[in-house]
Amino acid sequence: MAMACYLQTKPPPFTLIWSRKTNLRCIPCKTQNPNSRPSNFISGARRILCSAEEHPFAQLNSSSVNTLTSSAEVRGSSASTLREICEGRVPEHVLRRAEEVGYIVPTDVQRQSLPTLLSGRDCILHAQTGSGKTLAYLLLIFSVVNAQRSAVQALIVVPTRELGMQVTKVARLLASKPMDHELEQKTCTVMALLDGGMLKRHKSWLKAEPPTVVVATIGSLCQMLEKHIFKLEAMRVLVVDEVDFMFNSSKQVYSLRKLLTSFSSINNRQTVFASASIPRHRHFLYDCRQQKWTKNDVVHVHLNPVQPMPSCLQHRFVICRDKERPQILLSLLHVDAPKSAIIFISEQSEKSKKAGHTPSSVRVIEFLRTSYSEYSEILLLEENMNFNLRATSLLEVRQSGSCILVATDIAARGIDLPETTHVYNFDLPKTAVDYLHRSGRTARKPFSDEKCTITNMITPKERFVLQRFENELMFHCNELSL
């Protein structure tokens, strides 16, 4: 066991164990006492003390040539404003617009990734939910495209229509003319090519005057590419957002691979992959190079590797029986009185659909509408709704300052509702990655310390599943008794 060591951060509670045998895994230990050995200690392992900042993963990653982590090596960029980082690269009117919107100070991921992105290197943006990855890749796009040229020069691929609408909105906001700005030149046009959209109208638009930037779901995009309605020969930047989700989705992976290797080539484009979760990221990086999804010198910008979820989240659980869940949920809402909340419910199983049962999302929303009169706005968002209803639901959530959204995992990825302070897992998510993304719908104000709460409603049998998520994502969940 000569290859094993464990690294203990000062102060506890996190002691981290690393062993080559466990394939560079990082495990939170069960002890709070810095002098005692953790109970999941690897026998024969050597103890190394380090501060939380000199994180072991920073040391481990420094051996990997193209990985930037939150270690000293990437603290290089000390710029205090986005303007300082982007001036001379991103057009002045875009910077002015960003400032008007309130994007002045860069978030950590923007500070650390923008110098790399603006240098033209392919990049994997791997940072916590709500950390501002969207603005980082949009600023790159605005630095590269030429609005005077009538051709699609940047493409952003997203997994859902909802995320596509959101990204399009931010891109259009940045592309629009700043107030009091005499802009003679044409500004960038941004087209949303999303499932359920008006593809006929888009067809004429693409032919008559191609937009500069296209935000697309992979299904609609491939339909257009296969029919040769538009080509990617002028594309200079390709962004794939929520990349792990897309590679993991049996519906999307085939088309995504085709887009990366057949419809376009790494030599003619800069490729950016973004996500808050990239499981087995070293393996993914290897695939990127081997499969020619990115160039060989792709940079992995990895922030907070040891704390994959925002630190302002408080996690708790309530043990209850299945039948008690609605009533317990109601009690929790009464006690918490959240400003805005999302209640996550599992998608209805095929078996339950066939049996003609009412989906639990519908049962919960009906129950809340009759028993939780404090909230006038209780809205539903799930896959089975048609696209217009889904869009209306999200619009209403955004417009009303406070609201309860009952949703399936369709709302778990990328959706930005900054007022959300509470997430309730009425049903536990299937995986730790899903837990991370559901939790990440809160704590979306980059410079705020506001505490946000994640509450898990679980049966006694599910406690070990939650414990597994705690180990994998390195957080602690407190029991709440009502």
Ligand X SMILES: Nc1ncnc2c1ncn2[C@@H]1O[C@H](COP(=O)(O)OP(=O)(O)OP(=O)(O)O)[C@@H](O)[C@H]1O
Residues of the shown chain interacting with ligand X in the complex, contacts defined by CB under 6 A: 102-103, 105-107, 110, 129-135, 276, 414, 416, 418, 440, 444, 446
Asked if residues 177 and 205 have their Cβ atoms less than 8 Å apart, the reply is no
Choice between 325 and 444, CB closer to ligand X: 444
Q: Report, in Å, the least distance between residue 308 CB and ligand X.
A: 11
- The Cα 355–Cα 367 span in angstroms is 21
Choice between 162 and 382, CB closer to ligand X: 162
Q: Partners of 251 in the beta sheet?
A: none
Choice between 212 and 442, CB closer to ligand X: 442
Choice between 127 and 458, CB closer to ligand X: 127
Q: Report, in Å, the least distance between residue 61 CB and ligand X.
A: 20
Q: Which two tokens stand for residue 310?
A: 């925002």
Task: Annotate 332-364 with b (16+ C-beta within 10 A) or e (fewer).
Answer: bbeeeebebbbbbbbbbeeeeeeeeeebbbbeb
Q: Report, in Å, the least distance between residue 478 CB and ligand X.
A: 24
Choice between 266 and 423, CB closer to ligand X: 423
Asked if residues 432 and 475 have their Cβ atoms less than 8 Å apart, the reply is no
Q: Report, in Å, the least distance between residue 153 CB and ligand X.
A: 21
What ranges make up the beta strands (E) of 227-340? 237-241, 270-275, 299-302, 313-319
CA atoms within 13 A on the CB side of 171: 28
Choice between 304 and 360, CB closer to ligand X: 304
- The Cα 127–Cα 125 span in angstroms is 6
Classify residue 387 by burial, with Cβ atoms within 10 Å: 0-12, 13-18, 19+: middle
Choice between 305 and 326, CB closer to ligand X: 305
Asked if residues 164 and 197 have their Cβ atoms less than 8 Å apart, the reply is no
- The Cα 285–Cα 293 span in angstroms is 10
Q: Report, in Å, the least distance between residue 274 CB and ligand X.
A: 7
Q: Report, in Å, the least distance between residue 63 CB and ligand X.
A: 27
Under DSSP, the state recorded for 259 is: I
Q: Report, in Å, the least distance between residue 353 CB and ligand X.
A: 29
* Torsion on CA atoms 438, 414, 289, 307, rounded to nearest 10: -50
Choice between 9 and 421, CB closer to ligand X: 421
Q: Report, in Å, the least distance between residue 451 CB and ligand X.
A: 17
